[in-house]
Amino acid sequence: MAPHTNGTYDIQKLKRSIRSCYPDLPENQRKVADCFLQISEEIPFLSVTEIERRAGVSKATVVRLAQSLGFSGFMELRRKLHSGIQAGIALRAQMAIPESLQRRETLSLVARQDVKNITQTVSHIDPQLFSNVAARIVRSSHVYTLGLGISSLMSQVMAYSLNQVAVPATPFVHDYATFLEQLPFLSPRDLLIAFSFPPYSRETVDAVTTAAARKVPVIGITDRETSPITFSCLFVLPIRSRNMLFTNSFSAISVVINALVTEVALKNRAKALRMLKDTDRLLQQAGHYTTE
């Protein structure tokens, strides 16, 4: 990869560079790459020793990863990122909960973690990427969603919410048929939105890989930009899902779903409003609502 000698090298460029070379990186350099993606806003303020500690590798490995990205070493990478990272840091500072919280109750601890998840997710998602994902949803003939575990619930919420704004959407149901058995119904004019969070499901990965091979565009909603499904995805929305327990928190996932559906509605305003009015009229006629 050619050295980045000119211009600002911002967080989004770093992420794209990492995703581009990730499949060819040695295992230890992948650990550094994953660390970079998780703490991208902090990199300009960390020493190579701190990166070494967080990634669990040697300093030489940190330097080699920077060189794999086209830099002379970690110091050049850190210097290049410094200017482009300021906006993301400002956003995190604005949304952060004060550390002076005295009484550490479960509710407070979980709330703080979820706010941190949301803050980091918002600062990591490129607004242009987000807009491109919404535009692709609007252009699709039909949207299908899939996932297992908590991802299954989120995929159903996504499909339901898209239907509410006049986008035909169907979640894959994992009962009478596997994901692979349902894929033949999709065409390249459709769109598959795949949810995948740790522990990653092999069936989800296989379904995404097969869909991409069949020229069906895939949007990945996952916890990191190098999770197993990402290399078969057209777009990837990385969402923080850390929890106090061993499960994934779905707070930030829900925020992104809500924001994405809202963006779709704005891009598809006339059709969404017609759908809302027609649905409300039908429900009124059927006596669906009650005042008691």
Can you give the pLDDT of all 292 residues of the chain as single tens digits? 555 545 556 777 888 899 899 999 999 999 999 998 888 777 877 888 888 888 999 999 999 999 999 898 888 888 777 655 444 444 444 444 444 444 457 788 888 889 999 998 998 899 999 999 999 999 999 999 999 988 999 999 999 999 999 899 999 987 778 899 999 999 999 999 999 998 888 899 999 999 999 999 999 999 988 999 999 999 999 999 888 776 788 899 999 999 999 999 998 877 767 777 777 777 777 776 665 5
Return the pLDDT at 87.
Answer: 44
* Six token digits for residue 242: 């850390």
**pTM for this model (two decimals):** 0.69
Q: How far apart are CA 157 and CA 188, in angstroms?
A: 23
The count of other CB atoms within 10 Å of the CB of residue 94 is 8
Whether residue 26 has a cis bond before it, omega within 30° of 0: no
Looking at residue 243, what is its pLDDT? 82
All domains in the chain, ordered by first residue: 11-86 (1.10.10.10), 127-281 (3.40.50.10490)
